Chains A and B, each alone.
Chain A
Amino acid sequence: MLSHLANPARFMRISGVALPWLGGVSLVVLVLGLFWSLILAPPDYQQGESVRIMFIHVPSAWMALSVYLFVAVASAVALIWRHPLAEIAAQSAAPIGAAFTFVCLATGSLWGRPMWGTWWVWDARLTSVLVLFFLYLGYIALVNAFDDASRGGRAGSLLALVGIVNLPIIKFSVDWWNTLHQPASVLRLGGPTIDVTMLAPLLVMALGFTLLFGWLLLVRMRTALTERRLRALRIYGEAAAGNASEASSGAARPAWR
């Protein structure tokens, strides 16, 4: 399925059909998730209404990690098989991952202030997520730092692969080190410790964020492919125009890639 889609022309055709559906479904799921999180879900017996921050904080943390994994895997595919669509996928996904990481950090801070009494602590969990945010920014900066886009892509892919060591550190930081941050309560051995009235909206929001990621990824990949096509067409158009005038004067044919 993936290798079938890996042809850019086929990708454009299929993603063009999928785009409005994916957009519509993510909107519906997100509205449902927000309604559930903000109105239907009960307040926590200890944390009161502040627990509602969890419904965006935790799904955006999951997205921050899984989008990074996506960027790293796509980068590996780009490095090993040199497939241009894989590199475009990684580069289109990185800003989305950075946005989710920022939301995770900001909402965590807003939740930490009333519950822990501090906006921020330099403990293992918070620091490693901050490192993840800088990895995203570093990847985006590196990709755009070269005049030659293919060199930037290669350098970015390498950085994305090296940064993958941060993912297990984030996941297990709450078990390995003393921290203010609570340990996992959903993705843990022995099942979730969170009540279903809160687990349900949490999972709906996570689904909504995942669908939003899918829609954003398709939009951004289609933009990148279209812009690349535009560049090629412009270069070709200029070359062809130059060719026509120079052909009559007998000049050499300009190089075109």
Chain B
Amino acid sequence: MDALATYVSMGGYAGFVWSAYGIAAAVLGGLALQSWRRYRASQGALRNVEPRVPERR
């Protein structure tokens, strides 16, 4: 437990180190999640629309 506390404290820089990793995870993870959701939504919408479109080719 002590080793873990020492590790988490990051030699006194805990606030800076963990905030930096947290911001990076939030920004990049958030962008990935938003991009993926919009991608799935677009794929779903295309599946809904496509069969109703009359043949043209």
**Pairwise interchain contact A223-B13, C-beta atoms closer than 8 A:** no
Chain B residue contacts of A43, Cβ below 8 A = 11
> Given the complex of chains A and B, what is the CA–CA distance between A220 and B53 in angstroms?
25
**Pairwise interchain contact A48-B31, C-beta atoms closer than 8 A:** no
> Of B20, B32, B46, B50, which contacts A216 at CB under 8 A?
B32
Report the interface size class on chain A.
35 or more
**Pairwise interchain contact B16-A114, C-beta atoms closer than 8 A:** yes
Task: Given A99-B27, A99-B28, A219-B35, answer yes or no on A110-B45 (Cβ-Cβ < 8 Å).
Answer: no
> Of A34, A106, A219, which contacts B39 at CB under 8 A?
A219
| Minimum CB–CB distance for B11 against chain A, Å | 4
**Pairwise interchain contact A227-B17, C-beta atoms closer than 8 A:** no
Report the interface size class on chain B.
20 to 34
Question: Which residues does B use to contact A, with CB under 8 Å?
Answer: 10-13, 16-17, 19-21, 23-24, 27-28, 31-32, 35-36, 38-39, 42-43, 45-46, 49-50, 52-54, 56
Known: A50-B17, A223-B35, A233-B50. 9 other contacts (CB 8 A): A49-B13, A50-B11, A53-B16, A53-B20, A226-B46, A229-B46, A230-B46, A237-B52, A237-B54
Question: Which residues does A use to contact B, with CB under 8 Å?
Answer: 34, 38, 43, 48-50, 52-53, 56-57, 60, 95-96, 99-100, 102-103, 106-107, 110-111, 113-114, 212, 215-216, 219-220, 222-223, 226-227, 229-230, 233-234, 236-237, 240
